[in-house]
A and B are shown apart, each in its own frame.
Chain A
Amino acid sequence: MSVIYLLITISIIIAIGFFIAFITAVKTGQYDDDYTPSVRMLFDDELLKPTKKEIKVEKKEENKLDV
């Protein structure tokens, strides 16, 4: 049943992995501003809309040229 040594070692290693991830996240400043990202996240869809429009407009212009 020495598998328990293995299992616990693995679980500790995984925990340490998460711990390192946390430390690097703090180090890169991800916890400095905890408000803006929550808002920014919601913008992505809005951003796509205008670009699509632009493409459409460009296409229309191309069509006109063709005619």
Chain B
Amino acid sequence: MDTQNCFHCGLDIVKEDEIIFDAKNFCCNGCKTVYEIFSLNDMTCYYDFEKSPGATPQDISGKYDFLDNESIVSKLLEFQENSTAIISLNIPHIHCSSCIWILENLQRLQKGISTSQVNFPEKKVRITYNPELVSIKNIVYLLSSIGYEPYISLENYETGANNVDRSLTYKLGVAFFCFGNIMLLSFPEYFEVKEFWLDHYRGFFRWLIFALAMPSFIYSANGYYVSAYKSIKTKMLNIDIPIALGIVVMFIRSAFDIIMDYGPGFFDSLTGLIFFMLLGKMFQIKTYSFLSFERDFKSYFPIAITKINADTSEESVPIYEVLKGDRLLIRNQELIPVDGILISEQAEIDYSFVTGEAVAITKKSGDKVFAGGKQIGKVIEMEVLHSVSQSYLTQLWSNDVFQKNVEQKHKTITDNISHYFTPILLLIAFVSFTYWIFIDATTAFNVFTAVLIVACPCALALTAPFTFGNVLRILGKQKFYLKNALVIEQLAKVDTIVFDKTGTITTNKKSNISYEGTTLSDEELLLIKNVLRASNHPLSRMLYDYLPLPILENISATLTKKMKVEYFEEITGKGIKSQIFGYTILIGSASFVEKLEDSSIQQTAVHIKIDGIYFGKFIFNNQYREGLEELFQTLSKQYKIKVLSGDNEGERSVLERLLPKGTELIFNQKPEQKLEFIKNLQEKGNNVMMVGDGLNDAGALAQSDIGISISENVNVFSPACDAILDANEFQKLNYFLKFSKNSITTIKMSFTLSLLYNVVGLTFAVTGNLLPLVAAIIMPLSTITIVSFVTVMSNYYSRKK
């Protein structure tokens, strides 16, 4: 048995760090502490529901100091009164039944919490507590200490009670109520038995049916009337026109029949039709409530920041209250919320998410720092130059693309069909009407209405919702989350794909490090590793992690102990100078080790010099995603592929080798330039799909016909987009595109099928033979065949790789 998994978090245990507690193995102290908390409180059944469900608690000291500020807290709360307060916290780690159990039993861990309720699909916990007994800060600390750190961002600021639109559920309920009761009451009519009692009560049944049909006709179906009216106004013939026409005609004709005592009318078909169509609508709406497709910088930014007052005291202030001239304190891994000037001696700022540059940038005292960067390493101080809304980054959101209402950007496939369908339908209705009017006036009216009733494109209208609804679910299972059904049609139309580089086709997680130069012995590697241990520079740490551990084992322990760093100096922007075990070691940039190098080669490298002899350099290459080469090979057969990057040209040669010939590579692109690039492509008539990940792609994602954001952790942050793809499924992109194309084929096949039903129905109608019973059979029959056909077909295509 080589590796063991941590009892708490399930990660592999590194032998040296293993902690055994209570006869259980833990990977680190953090995990052990969580277990201790639970076992002390008799809550170890947390581990019974799911195997190793936990997460290692992170160090959060100081991170939530802003929760001491009353005004910030009051903005976060949903409800507040003397002894009761309610807060909803977003907890990304919620993933299993153990999570639900522990979070709903918080009151046993902390006095003052009365109830807590988890909303699993939204990954939220709603905590009711007594602010006199426990502060929100304590709750957040408690959650963090058991591995459930909440995610609080600027987005949470001013969270009022959000209104959920439940009107579709109500409409569906009303429609089903009417449909079900009318079906039951219609049974006597179907059999047409000449029986005294049935004849006697016929009027009662019919009027009851009439009354029951009213709510469905007036309330449930009103969406179709509104939509039809709007589409006539804009002269775009959509599918709702024939539907609304069919419903209205059906209602008038049936009402007429009942009032004049001609027959039972078509109320059963009418309510059934409304019910099925609403069901289709419902099915198409598949929402991923834990995701958000409308995010902007707000959900990336912290809610408050530490300000240093004139008397050097520290205070948490809301981001919006940060003014020009304020001094701010930025801790390790914290985000710089505004543009400013660095006061501290040195800072390492990771801009990868904002600009696309892969490697952290070193800034010196007096340098400008821009909003959106993440500080890595020590605590820094900065002075504010612009307030949040005027910062460089946030200005991107004032671009037109973000203001545009993009609702009716594209014509859907169903609307295209109805463009032809509606005029033809009206033509048939009028032709048959004029034909019959010379023979018999009553039949003429009957035929006219029957044509409109039977041709009501119920099956046609149901095809797309059911196909797309099913496809959305299939894709969602494969971790490709679409905003709505329209995205599928757009996916099928794409002909150009633009990729971002950093974070999209490369991973943020680790760089690929290679070594060039004289081979280093184990002993020398050990020396280097020991020196690097003392350094906080991001590159040092990456290199430290990269250097293999076994070299430590090969050398005797006594020797390792002797290797104490005797002298250590870190020179900002250059490198490390240190003395260890009698050796002088220089680690740093080319100029630092006095190595003459062709400066045209742009790459990130760390050079090594020991005792005045130059050894070589460690080169940090970008780590490309798995399966990237194959994916681009297959994609390039059908699509034009372009790569946009905010980074420098250092990776050009690697990319050229990796990617198929003809792939356009463009470097040094600012966010606005990316947006313009997409716009230009669109003006040339291309359907552009943008695949990006960071804030720097936000403009391009909004401008493109379809923007997909790649995310390592879908819960936390992704810029506004049409679809979110889990980073691990990146290589499946081609399959997703193919699948969406196939789903359009499915829809087309199903259209043919439903048109066939219409032809059958129309022959009944035109000849004047449409009995209510025939209508009542054709309508559900066509619905059922269409729904099962599209479901089977889309599932079949989903298995085709």
Q: Which residues of A contact B101 (CB under 8 A)?
A: 43, 46
For residue A34, which residue of chain B has the nearest CB?
A: B121
> B751: shortest Cβ distance to chain A, in Å?
33
The answer to whether B120 and A39 touch across the interface, beta carbons within 8 angstroms, is: yes
Q: Is B208 an interface residue (CB 8 A)?
A: yes
The answer to whether B181 and A12 touch across the interface, beta carbons within 8 angstroms, is: yes
The answer to whether A26 and B118 touch across the interface, beta carbons within 8 angstroms, is: no
The answer to whether A31 and B169 touch across the interface, beta carbons within 8 angstroms, is: yes
Q: Which residues of B contact A29 (CB under 8 A)?
A: 164
Q: Which residues of B contact A12 (CB under 8 A)?
A: 181, 208
For B85-127 the 0/1 string (1 means CB < 8 A from A) is: 0000000000001001100110000000000011111100000
In the bound complex, how far is the Cα of B45 from the Cα of A5, in angstroms? 58
Q: Which residues of A contact B181 (CB under 8 A)?
A: 12, 15
- Interface size of B by Cβ–Cβ distance < 8 Å? 29
> A19: shortest Cβ distance to chain B, in Å?
5
The answer to whether B166 and A26 touch across the interface, beta carbons within 8 angstroms, is: yes
For A1-24 the 0/1 string (1 means CB < 8 A from B) is: 100110010001001000100110
> A18: shortest Cβ distance to chain B, in Å?
8
CB interface residues, B 148-181, toward A, < 8 Å: 164, 166, 169-170, 173-174, 177, 180-181
The answer to whether A39 and B173 touch across the interface, beta carbons within 8 angstroms, is: no
Known A4-B201, A27-B166, A39-B97; contact A19-B177, beta-carbon cutoff 8 A:
yes
In the bound complex, how far is the Cα of B170 from the Cα of A27, in angstroms? 9
> A24: shortest Cβ distance to chain B, in Å?
11
In the bound complex, how far is the Cα of B207 from the Cα of A5, in angstroms? 12
In the bound complex, how far is the Cα of B119 from the Cα of A31, in angstroms? 12
For residue A19, which residue of chain B has the nearest CB?
A: B177
Q: Is A36 an interface residue (CB 8 A)?
A: yes
The answer to whether B100 and A26 touch across the interface, beta carbons within 8 angstroms, is: no
Q: Which residues of B contact A33 (CB under 8 A)?
A: 119-122
The answer to whether A42 and B97 touch across the interface, beta carbons within 8 angstroms, is: yes
Q: Is B42 an interface residue (CB 8 A)?
A: yes
Q: Is A53 an interface residue (CB 8 A)?
A: yes
Q: Which residues of A contact B42 (CB under 8 A)?
A: 50, 53-54
Interface of chain B: mostly helix, strand, loop or mixed: helix
Known A4-B201, A33-B121, A50-B42; contact A43-B104, beta-carbon cutoff 8 A:
yes
CB interface residues, B 198-253, toward A, < 8 Å: 201, 204, 208
In the bound complex, how far is the Cα of B179 from the Cα of A19, in angstroms? 13
The answer to whether A50 and B43 touch across the interface, beta carbons within 8 angstroms, is: yes
The answer to whether A23 and B48 touch across the interface, beta carbons within 8 angstroms, is: no
Q: Which residues of A contact B796 (CB under 8 A)?
A: none
Known A15-B177, A50-B42; contact A35-B121, beta-carbon cutoff 8 A:
yes
For residue B181, which residue of chain A has the nearest CB?
A: A15
The answer to whether B118 and A36 touch across the interface, beta carbons within 8 angstroms, is: yes
Q: Is B197 an interface residue (CB 8 A)?
A: yes
Q: Which residues of A contact B170 (CB under 8 A)?
A: 23, 26
Q: Which residues of A contact B43 (CB under 8 A)?
A: 50
In the bound complex, how far is the Cα of B115 from the Cα of A40, in angstroms? 14
For B173-193 the 0/1 string (1 means CB < 8 A from A) is: 110010011000100000000
The answer to whether B164 and A5 touch across the interface, beta carbons within 8 angstroms, is: no
In the bound complex, how far is the Cα of B174 from the Cα of A23, in angstroms? 9
Q: Which residues of A contact B104 (CB under 8 A)?
A: 40, 43
Q: Is A62 an interface residue (CB 8 A)?
A: no
Q: Is A49 an interface residue (CB 8 A)?
A: yes
Q: Which residues of A contact B204 (CB under 8 A)?
A: 4-5, 8
Q: Which residues of B contact A40 (CB under 8 A)?
A: 100, 104, 118
In the bound complex, how far is the Cα of B48 from the Cα of A50, in angstroms? 13
> A1: shortest Cβ distance to chain B, in Å?
6
The answer to whether A1 and B197 touch across the interface, beta carbons within 8 angstroms, is: yes
Q: Which residues of A contact B119 (CB under 8 A)?
A: 32-33, 36
The answer to whether B48 and A46 touch across the interface, beta carbons within 8 angstroms, is: yes
> A64: shortest Cβ distance to chain B, in Å?
20
In the bound complex, how far is the Cα of B166 from the Cα of A22, in angstroms? 13
Q: Which residues of B contact A1 (CB under 8 A)?
A: 197
CB interface residues, B 691-737, toward A, < 8 Å: none
Q: Which residues of A contact B45 (CB under 8 A)?
A: 46, 49-50
> B505: shortest Cβ distance to chain A, in Å?
34
Known A15-B177, A32-B164, A40-B104; contact A26-B121, beta-carbon cutoff 8 A:
no
Q: Which residues of A contact B120 (CB under 8 A)?
A: 33, 35-36, 39
The answer to whether A23 and B173 touch across the interface, beta carbons within 8 angstroms, is: yes
In the bound complex, how far is the Cα of B169 from the Cα of A15, in angstroms? 18
In the bound complex, how far is the Cα of B117 from the Cα of A23, in angstroms? 23
> B45: shortest Cβ distance to chain A, in Å?
5
For residue A39, which residue of chain B has the nearest CB?
A: B97
In the bound complex, how far is the Cα of B119 from the Cα of A33, in angstroms? 6
For residue B96, which residue of chain A has the nearest CB?
A: A39
Q: Which residues of B contact A34 (CB under 8 A)?
A: 121
In the bound complex, how far is the Cα of B289 from the Cα of A34, in angstroms? 12
For A28-67 the 0/1 string (1 means CB < 8 A from B) is: 0101111110011011001101100110000000000000
For B44-83 the 0/1 string (1 means CB < 8 A from A) is: 0100100000000000000000000000000000000000
For residue A47, which residue of chain B has the nearest CB?
A: B105
10 A-B pairs with the lowest CB-CB distances in the bound complex, closest first: A36-B120, A50-B42, A35-B120, A39-B97, A33-B119, A19-B177, A26-B169, A39-B100, A46-B45, A22-B173
Apart from the given pairs A8-B204, A32-B119, A46-B45, 7 other A-B contacts in the complex at a CB distance below 8 Å? A23-B170, A26-B166, A33-B120, A35-B121, A36-B119, A36-B121, A54-B42
20 contacts between A and B (CB under 8 A): A8-B204, A12-B208, A15-B177, A15-B180, A15-B181, A19-B173, A22-B173, A23-B170, A23-B173, A26-B166, A26-B169, A29-B164, A33-B119, A36-B119, A36-B121, A39-B100, A40-B100, A40-B104, A49-B45, A50-B43
